[in-house]
């Protein structure tokens, strides 16, 4: 049985962006992550050892978000790589990274990136 472990609306301040100011001052971000994972054993055993620990997944997201990057695409992919490294049974990751109040001339709530990564494609 394939299922998804997800964490919604991870809020944090980070230092991503093409502009030097963004990497100095930073911005607020919201991250959503959904991880495809085999859940059959956990459904039967009721044992954390048989599933993906979302507290550990959250720590991975936070760690990668602390590493400055110019592009959110790079951050999102690094998160996927780290999740796969820690949880090799995950088969895919969907991740959204939303930069609140981006430095643009238009009035908008946020801008960001959303990617779907099949773990077979992770390098």
- Over residues 58-105, the pLDDT tens digits come to 999 999 999 999 999 999 999 999 999 999 999 999 999 999 988 878
93-97: long-range contacts, CB 8 A cutoff, minimum separation 24? 93/33, 93/34, 93/35, 93/36, 93/117, 93/119, 94/33, 94/34, 95/31, 95/32, 95/33, 95/34, 96/30, 96/31, 96/32, 96/33, 97/29, 97/30, 97/31, 97/72
Q: Is the pLDDT of residue 13 over 90?
A: yes
pTM above the 0.85 mark?
Answer: yes
Q: Is the pLDDT of residue 122 over 90?
A: no
Q: 121 CB contacts (<8 Å, ≥6 apart)? A: none
Q: How confident is the model at residue 120 (pLDDT cuts 50, 70, 90)?
A: confident
Mean pLDDT, residues 35-63 taken together: 96
């Amino acid at each position: 049985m394939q299922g998804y472990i997800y964490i919604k609306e991870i809020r944090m301040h980070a230092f991503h962006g093409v502009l030097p100011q963004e990497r100095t001052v930073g911005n607020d971000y919201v991250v959503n992550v959904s991880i495809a994972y085999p859940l059959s054993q956990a459904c039967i055993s009721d044992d954390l050892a048989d599933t993906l620990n979302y507290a550990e997944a959250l720590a991975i997201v936070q760690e990668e978000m602390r590493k400055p990057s110019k592009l959110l695409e790079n951050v999102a992919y690094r998160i996927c790589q780290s999740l796969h490294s820690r949880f090799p049974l995950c088969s895919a990751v969907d991740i959204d990274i939303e930069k609140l109040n981006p430095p643009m001339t238009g009035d908008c709530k946020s801008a960001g990136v959303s990617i779907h990564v099949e773990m077979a494609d992770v390098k």
